[in-house]
Amino acid sequence: MSRLWSDLTHTLSPYVPGEQPQIAGLIKLNTNESPLGPSPKALAAVAAEARDTLRLYPDPQATALRRVLAAYHGLESANVFVGNGSDEVLAHAFAALLKHEAPLLFPDISYSFYPVYSRLFGIEAETIPLDDAFNIRVADYRRAAGAIILPNPNAPTGVALPLADIETLLADHPNAPVVIDEAYVDFGAQTAIPMIATHDNLLVVRTFSKSRALAGLRVGYALGHPDLIAALTRVKDSFNSYPLSRPAQAGAIASVQDEGYFQATLATITATRAKLVEGLTALGFETLPSSANFVFTRHPDHSGAALAAALRERAILVRRWDAPRIGEYLRITVGTEEQSGRLLAALAEILCA
Ligand SMILES: *Cc1c(COP(=O)(O)O)cnc(C)c1O
């Protein structure tokens, strides 16, 4: 069909999501989904929306959800933008805020959607290498920058950046939008949200997919100065006026209102993560310090590709990239205690073989 494609379509190199295969008994530790269900209150709210009102369009501004998120984070509704998953929010940020004369900067090892969006929106991007311990060095960002985007904690490493470093980035680039993608922040990093009050160039992007166990509902949001939110809204209303369905808006509100469930599930996952890291260390793995719901780990004597393939044969899926610097690493989602135990047992068996 390529003769019918636009020129732009020919130039794209789309993001490849982690696979979602239908294998019986599969232990799926490849896409950082939560092993614990969503809040029962969120599920009830979603179910309650399966009724006659589905014939009506949802609130295009998601007014109630934005109000709830604003109150939760100590901000105003004018500071809140919501979208159909944070990937969509990020896409709107690229279109609305990240294209300038100077290049967009992001780490060489980072969320692989950033180069994809750069291409889609014709944004010149420059990658800044992480240091040898896979840390972001903010001093390396002291160069011409049209904008900056980075995840905190970083993906797929799980390594967190201290707030003082984000403060430095913001101060070094007062006239460039700085986007902090906090997809995993609830699992142990510090949020940059308090700096929104003093920095009009900061946009913080969040998702309900990881810490709120609602990847299937597709809800993400951004927080920032009202001028940044207005830019995102202009792009959204030039693209899709109704990105969030009625069930999505209702479920997201109920999730935010169930703080007890949220905190309990975070505690479970971070406790399982600590045990998983211990188990991996006992097997000789070297694991980066994780502030996320996954670990990034390598074994000095076994190739990443071989380990991933051997796990797959045992119906355990993890994620790996054939990419410079990280090819020997496995990114393993923190599952349930039981899944972690089975993963460690499988690795022990593979290492002995
Ligand atoms: C998972 C993830 C997202 C996107 O999540 P959505 O499901 O689209 O909300 C964004 N950024 C990073 C770094 C992620 O890992």
Residues 217, 43: Cα–Cα separation, whole Å: 10
Domain boundary among 215, 238, 258: 258
Residues 224, 167: Cα–Cα separation, whole Å: 15
Residues in the chain: 353
pLDDT of the residue at 17? 80
Our mutation pick for probing the ligand 1 site, out of 114, 210, 221, 293, counting the most ligand atoms within 8 A of Cβ, is 210
pLDDT of the residue at 18? 77
In a domain, 331, yes or no: yes
pLDDT of the residue at 1? 65
pLDDT of the residue at 24? 79
CA 154 to ligand 1 centroid distance, Å: 11
Instruction: For the chain, give percent helix, strand, coil, nearest 5.
Output: 40, 15, 45
Q: Which atom of ligand 1 is nearest to the CA of 215?
A: 7
- In a shared domain, residues 105 and 250: yes
Our mutation pick for probing the ligand 1 site, out of 82, 86, 205, counting the most ligand atoms within 8 A of Cβ, is 86
CB 70 within 8 A of CB 62: no
In a domain, 100, yes or no: yes
- CATH number, domain with residue 284: 3.90.1150.10
The mean pLDDT value for 311-337 works out to 96
Residue-wise pLDDT tens digits, 56-109? 999 999 999 999 999 999 999 999 999 999 999 999 999 999 999 999 999 999
pLDDT of the residue at 74? 98
The mean pLDDT value for 137-144 works out to 97
- In a shared domain, residues 12 and 129: no
CA 164 to ligand 1 centroid distance, Å: 24
Segment holding 151, helix H or strand E: strand 147-151
CA 22 to ligand 1 centroid distance, Å: 22
Our mutation pick for probing the ligand 1 site, out of 111, 150, 219, counting the most ligand atoms within 8 A of Cβ, is 111
- In a shared domain, residues 237 and 266: no
CA 183 to ligand 1 centroid distance, Å: 6
Mean pLDDT, rounded, of the chain: 96
In a domain, 167, yes or no: yes
In a domain, 344, yes or no: yes
- In a shared domain, residues 16 and 82: no
Instruction: With a cut of 80, say whether residue 19 has pLDDT above it.
Output: no
pLDDT of the residue at 175? 97
Range of the domain at 343: 2-37+260-352
Question: 307 pLDDT band (50/70/90 cuts)?
Answer: very high
- In a shared domain, residues 254 and 265: no
In a domain, 44, yes or no: no
In a domain, 43, yes or no: no
Which amino acid is it at 12?
Answer: L
Segment holding 126, helix H or strand E: strand 125-128
- In a shared domain, residues 9 and 130: no
Question: 20 pLDDT band (50/70/90 cuts)?
Answer: confident
Residue nearest to atom 5 of ligand 1 (CA): 86
Question: 33 pLDDT band (50/70/90 cuts)?
Answer: very high
Q: What percent of the chain has pLDDT over 90?
A: 94
Least confident of 6-15, 160-169, 285-294: 6-15
**Mean pLDDT: which of 2-6, 14-18, 284-288 is highest?**
284-288
Q: Which atom of ligand 1 is nearest to the CA of 111?
A: 13
The mean pLDDT value for 270-286 works out to 98
Which amino acid is it at 293?
Answer: N
Q: In the structure encoding, which two tokens stand for residue 145, read together?
A: 């920058």
Residues 300, 226: Cα–Cα separation, whole Å: 49
- In a shared domain, residues 106 and 164: yes
Domain boundary among 237, 258, 279: 258
Question: 138 pLDDT band (50/70/90 cuts)?
Answer: very high
- In a shared domain, residues 238 and 335: no
The mean pLDDT value for 209-236 works out to 98
Instruction: With a cut of 90, say whether residue 34 has pLDDT above it.
Output: yes
pTM: 0.97
The mean pLDDT value for 254-274 works out to 98
In a domain, 42, yes or no: no
Question: 45 pLDDT band (50/70/90 cuts)?
Answer: very high
- In a shared domain, residues 243 and 295: no
Residues 16, 245: Cα–Cα separation, whole Å: 25
pLDDT of the residue at 353? 81
Our mutation pick for probing the ligand 1 site, out of 33, 87, 149, 186, counting the most ligand atoms within 8 A of Cβ, is 87
CB within 6 Å of ligand 1 — which residues?
85-87, 111, 151, 155, 181, 183, 207, 209, 215, 220
pLDDT of the residue at 76? 98
Residues 110, 213: Cα–Cα separation, whole Å: 22
- In a shared domain, residues 245 and 268: no
Instruction: With a cut of 70, say whether residue 194 has pLDDT above it.
Output: yes
Domain boundary among 258, 274, 292: 258
In a domain, 19, yes or no: yes
How many domains does the chain contain in total?
2
In Å, the largest CA–CA distance within the chain is 60
Residue nearest to atom 11 of ligand 1 (CA): 183
Beta bridge partners of 333: 294
- In a shared domain, residues 101 and 250: yes
- In a shared domain, residues 195 and 71: yes
- CATH number, domain with residue 235: 3.40.640.10
